[in-house]
Amino acid sequence: MREQRAKNLAQLVVVATLALVSILGGGALLAQENAGRQDNSGRLVTPSDSLSGSLPASDNGSATTNLSTSGVRQTTEYQQAMAVAVRTAAARCLESVVSIEVIGAIGSGEGEVERDAPGSGVIVGKEGYILASSLVSARPSASLIVVLGTGERYAAKVIAKDEHRDLVLLKIDAPNDLKALDLAEASAGVVGQTVIAVGRYGGDRSPLVSRGILSAEQRLDGIALQCDARVSPSFYGGPLIDLYGRTLGVLIPAVAEGGAESSTDWYDSGIAFAIPTDVIANKLERMKRGEEIKRGMIGIVARSSDPYSDGTEIAAVRRRSPAEQAGLLPGDEVISVAGLKVRRQLEIRQALGPYDAGETISIGFRRGEITQAVDVTLASTIPPLEPQRLGLILSEQEAVERAKQAGNTAQNGSAEAEQDPTLSPETLANEGSPKEVEAKTKSVSLVIDAIIPTTPADGVFIRGDQLVSVNGALISDGDSLRRLLISANPKDTLAITVIRNGSSVDLQVTTQTIADEALTRYPRGWGGGDVTSQETTELNNDEKKSNQENAKEKNPIALNADVQNRWEVSQWKLPEASNAAAVAAPKDVIETNRLGLLILLMNPGAGAPITALEDWLESARSSGVVVCAIAPEDQQRWLPKEVDVIARFAASLAKQYSIHPESVAVATAGALAGGDGDAADAMALAVALSQRQLFHGAAVSTKTQPPRIRLLENEGQGSFQLMLSLSPADELPQWAPPLKRAGYPVVTGDEVDRFSLLRWVRLLQVL
C-alpha cells in the first residue's frame, strides 16, 4: 500500500512539474507536439522507437510548433518533464498489454498490414480474457498465440466478436491470475488533451508508445475517439491512455467511409481511432458469454445525397427492415433519434451509430402536419438490395424552361408534348390537389426527357411528363427517385402521378431488376449513331421523323456531323501526378449533360495511353462517352496510393466535359469479350468500390483476381453496377456473388465489345 501511494505521489509530482513548466515556457506546446525530438538522454526519439528496459518515451504527435508571435520556445525542462510523464503513464498499463501472433493464416491479407504485422491486446479479465482488434481473427488461422510481457506464450481461442467496433475477445488458460486493466478507472477524455498509444511488438515483446492529441469524439458514426498519435499496425488492440495512465480506449484499424480501400491504410498517418473504455466495459459481459455484437440497422434511405445538407426526409424504406415494421414511410421527416434532435442526415447516422442490433430506440418523425414517435428494434441484417429501374431519362427543369419547351413542341405539332401554354402559378393553383398544385408551381421539376425502348416505362410515360409523386410521396429530384428505386422490392408495382398537358394523370408501372442483362438500346430521341440497327428497322417513318427532330433538340453530338467529327485523342495531365494519361473527347464544349465518362486503366507495361486510345476514338465519339486511358506510375505494378490519383483524374474530366454524374465508370481492356484478368482489373475494382461516390460502374475481366478490400453493404445511398462479359447461361465468377449479396447489381452482356461497353456506361444514368 505504501509503495502504491508513493508511486501515485511521484506521478502527481511529475504531472504538476509538467504543468508548471508549461506555464513558465512550454504551455503552447502541450497541444503542439513534434515527432522526432530528444529525450532526457539527448537521443532523438522517432515514431519507430520502442520502449524497453528503462522505458524511453516516443514523442510523435503530428502538429507543428508555432513560435511566430508569442516567442515561446521549447525548453529542455519541458522535454524532460513530458518524457518522464509519458514513461510513468505507460508503465501503469504495460503489465496488462500483450502481443498477439497469428500463426498459419489462410488466404491473402487485406494489405501489407494484415499479412505481416503482429498485433497487440489488453488483458480485461484476470481469468485470461484478452481484448484485441479484429485483425487477429480476420482470416482463418492455425492458431493465435498471446505473448505476455513476461515472455510466456499461450494459445488463445476466440470467445466472441464485436463486429460493430472491430474488436474480438480471446481467452487463454494461464496458470496464474493476470493483471487486468481497470476499466472502472476509465477516463472520459477531453478534446485537446495529451494521449498516449501503447502496444507491444512481436516476439521480443518490445513495448511501444506514441504520443498525440485527442482530436475528436463520436467519430466513425459515433463509435470512436480520434487522436493524432502515429500508430504502426502493432499498436492495434493496445490501449489509448492519458498522462495519468488511465485508459481512454482500445485502438482499432479504421478509416472514414471512402477514405481508403482497406481499414489499415491510415496506419502511421497521424489519424488513429479507439473504442472508448466505457463502451467496452458495457459490452464486455455479453462478449464473455459468447454473444456476437453487430451494428444495428434501421433501413431508411435518405432523400439527399449530401449528408451535411439540412433536411431529414426519408426517400425510401427498405423492405423487411425495422423501419418498415415500425410503419415509417417515404416522405416522413425524422425529427429525433433516441431522444436526440436531428436536423440533417449526418446527425441521424451519428445518433444511430452507437446502437447495436437487438437494441430498441425511439424514432420521432413528422408526417404531414402530425408529429409521431415509434419504438424501433434494430436488426443485424436486412435483406440485400435488388436495385430496380423504370427505363427513364430525367432532367430537373425550371418553370421558365418548361414553358419554353412546351411552346416549342406545340409549335412543332408534337402530340406527345402538348402543354398548357400559360403554365402560370395563378392558373395552375385553381385546380388539383395540394400536392399537384405544389408540383405544378414549384420552380424546379423532374421532367421525362427520354424513354428506353422495351423497359417498363415504354408505353406508360411520354416525353414531357412531369413527375409528381410515387406511392403518395412527392418526388422533387432525381436523387430521391433513384434511392427509392434502389430500395424497391423486385418487380414492385408503383403508383406514379404525373402532370401531362397541364393535368394530373395517375399511372401504374412495374419495376425491372437492374441485375442480369445490360440495356441494349438507346432511348428514342437520341438519334444518329445512338439508334441500333434493330430499332431503326422497327421504327416506322413517322417515328423516324420524330426521332430525328428530338435528336436535334436533345442530342446534338449524335446527329451533327461537324460536332461528331471534332473528337480527338490528346494527352491529359494532372498536377502532381506522374501517371501518363490520354483522353478521347470532343475538341469543343458540347451543350449537353448527357455524356458518359469511362476511366480505362492500362496494364503495367502495356504501352502509351495515347496509342491505346486510337482504337477507342470511333466508339467513344459515336457513343457519346469520353474515354481516359491511364497508365500506372510504376510500369511493373499498380500502387495503392494511385486509387486517389485515378479518382482525381475522373473528377477533373467530369468538370471539364459535360458528364452526367451517374454515367461515370472504370474499366479495363480485359472487360471486353475474351479478355484476361491482370493487375489493372484488380485496381479497377479497388478504385470503384472505394470511390463509390464518384464511380457508378466497373467493368473487368471474369478472370480477375479481386483485391482484398472492405466491401461495404449498399444501403441505398447510391447506385453501382458491375459489368461482366457473360451470356445469361454462364456462371458468375466466384468473387461476384458476394457483390450481389451486398446489394450491388451484377450486369452481364454477351460478347461485350467497345460499343456495347460504352453504351452501358452512358446508360448508367437511366432510372
Share of the chain above pLDDT 90, in %: 41
Length of the chain: 767
Judge whether residue 565 has pLDDT over 90. no
Decide which of 309 and 432 is more confident. Answer: 309
**Residue range 82-91, pLDDT digits in tens:** 888 999 999 9
- Distance CA(746)–CA(640), nearest Å, equals 25
Q: What is the pLDDT of residues 296-328, one digit of tens each?
A: 999 998 887 777 888 899 988 988 899 999 999
* Closest by CA position to 61, among listed 230, 243, 264: 230
| Over residues 144-161, mean pLDDT | 92
**Amino acid 398: pLDDT:** 63
pLDDT band at 425 (very low <50, low <70, confident <90, very high): very low
- Return the axis-axis angle of helices 679-690 and 642-656, rounded to nearest 10°: 70
634 bridge partner residues: 637
Would you say residue 14 has pLDDT above 60? no
CB within 8 A of 415, min separation 6: which ones? none
- Lowest mean pLDDT of 38-47, 453-462, 540-549, name the range: 38-47
Q: Please, is 411 exposed, middle or buried when counting C-beta atoms within 10 Å of its C-beta (0-12, 13-18, 19+)? A: exposed
Distance between first and last Cα of the chain: 72
Counting residues of the chain whose pLDDT is more than 70, the rounded percentage is 74
DSSP string computed for 296-329: -B--EEES-S-TTSBB-BEEEE-TTSHHHHHT--
More confident residue, 426 or 716: 716
The average pLDDT across 574-600 equals 85
- The secondary structure element, H or E, covering residue 18 is helix 2-21
**How many angstroms separate the CA atoms of 293 and 287, rounded?**
8
Q: Which amino acid, residue 415?
A: A
> Is residue 340 over pLDDT 70?
yes
> Grid cell 513530458 — which residue?
82
- What is the Cα–Cα distance from 273 to 64, expressed in whole angstroms? 21
Q: Please provide the DSSP assignment of 731-765 as one string.
A: PPPTTSHHHHHTT--EEEETT--HHHHHHHHHGGG
**pLDDT at position 477:** 83
* Separation of alpha carbons 25 and 693, rounded Å: 48
pLDDT tens digits for range 356-396: 999 999 999 999 899 999 999 999 999 888 899 999 999 88
Please give the grid coordinates belonging to residue 425: 402559378
Q: Is the pLDDT of residue 539 over 50?
A: no
Per the DSSP assignment, residues forming a β-bridge with 592 are none
- Of the pLDDT bands very low, low, confident and very high (cuts 50, 70, 90), residue 124 is very high
436 pLDDT more than 80: no
pLDDT at 729: 78
Q: What is the pLDDT of residue 182?
A: 84
d(CA 457, CA 509): 7
- Do 211 and 46 meet the contact criterion of CB atoms below 8 Å apart? no
- Model confidence at 551, pLDDT cuts 50, 70, 90, reads very low
Q: Has residue 403 got a pLDDT over 50? A: no
Cell reading at 325:
415494421
pLDDT at 269: 75
Q: Mean pLDDT over residues 398-426, rounded?
A: 42
pLDDT band (50, 70, 90) for residue 263: low
Q: What pLDDT band is residue 339 in, cutting at 50, 70 and 90? A: very high
Question: 18-32, 180-194, 307-321: which range is least confident on average?
Answer: 18-32
pLDDT given at position 267:
64
Instruction: Examine the pLDDT at 123 and tell me if it is beyond 90.
Output: yes
pLDDT band at 40 (very low <50, low <70, confident <90, very high): very low
Return the pLDDT at 691: 87
**Of the segments 23-32, 48-57, 319-328, which one has the largest average pLDDT value?**
319-328
Window from 228-242, 246-260, 304-318 with minimum mean pLDDT: 246-260
Indicate if the pLDDT at residue 545 is higher than 50: no
What is the residue-averaged pLDDT of the chain? 78
Tell which wins on pLDDT, 642 or 421: 642
More confident site: 204 or 451: 451
d(CA 487, CA 87): 54
Facing residues of 723 across strands?
A: 699, 747
pLDDT value at residue 69? 43
**SS3 for 622?**
helix
User: pLDDT at position 21, please?
Assistant: 36
- Where does the pLDDT of residue 62 fall: very low under 50, low under 70, confident under 90, or very high at 90 and above? very low
Mean per-residue pLDDT for 732-750? 85
Average pLDDT for residues 738-761, to the nearest whole number? 89
Q: What residue type is assigned to position 553 of the chain?
A: E
* The pLDDT of residue 644 is above 70: yes
Long-range contacts of 306-310 (CB under 8 A, 24+ apart): 306/345, 307/344, 307/345, 307/346, 307/349, 308/344, 308/346, 309/344, 309/345, 310/343, 310/344
pLDDT of 141 higher than 80: no
Task: Decide if pLDDT at 131 tops 80.
Answer: yes
User: Mean pLDDT over residues 439-461, rounded?
Assistant: 82
What was the pLDDT predicted at 3?
Answer: 47
